[in-house]
Amino acid sequence: MNVADGVFDDGLDAAATRTFLDDPRHHLAVAIDDALVVGFASGVHYVHPDKPCPELWINEVGVADAYQGRGIGKLLMQALLDRARGLGCREAWVLTDRDNAPAVRLYESAGGTATRDHVMFTFLLA
């Protein structure tokens, strides 16, 4: 729970954090500086009836402003992708906005390939 400002979009909820960490399909790579979390990458591996191997959905990557530009995001991505390989995943994927230049640079530098334009729909359920 000792996290630098700007790493996550919002403050951490202790119960949600515990639930996330207790789920074996959720994965979290963190960068720590002097007991302070300064970056993270999270993902979920899943299976699907028409896919022969599990896949990893990369949910989010965040690095505190003061730590950006040091290659931390790329190292976190590599750690998450290594975990996916160890789980037998043959593919990992992430969505971002085309105008999110830092994210596009990060994902390209980590070996990602932009495939085509996608549209994301959000469903507010509560």
State yes or no: pLDDT of 124 exceeds 80.
yes
Q: Mean pLDDT over residues 64-90, rounded?
A: 95
Is 118 inside a domain boundary?
A: no
Count of structural domains within the chain: 1
Alpha helices in the chain (DSSP H): 14-22, 72-86, 101-109
Is 68 inside a domain boundary?
A: yes
pLDDT digits (tens, 9 = 90+) for 34-66: 999 999 999 999 999 998 999 999 999 999 999
Is 101 inside a domain boundary?
A: yes
pLDDT at site 63: 96
| Domain containing residue 39 | 14-109
Is 116 inside a domain boundary?
A: no
Is 117 inside a domain boundary?
A: no
Is 5 inside a domain boundary?
A: no
Query: Would you tell me how many other CB atoms lie within 10 Å of the CB of residue 89?
Result: 20
CA 20 and chain centroid, separation: 13
Q: How many CA atoms are closer than 13 Å to the CA of 5, on its beta-carbon side?
A: 1
CATH number at residue 56: 3.40.630.30
SS3 of 87, please?
A: coil
CA distance 48 to 29: 24
Handedness of CA 8, 10, 11, 12 (dihedral sign): negative
Is 95 inside a domain boundary?
A: yes
pLDDT at site 57: 95
Is 97 inside a domain boundary?
A: yes
pLDDT at site 82: 96
Q: Is the pTM of this model over 0.85?
A: yes
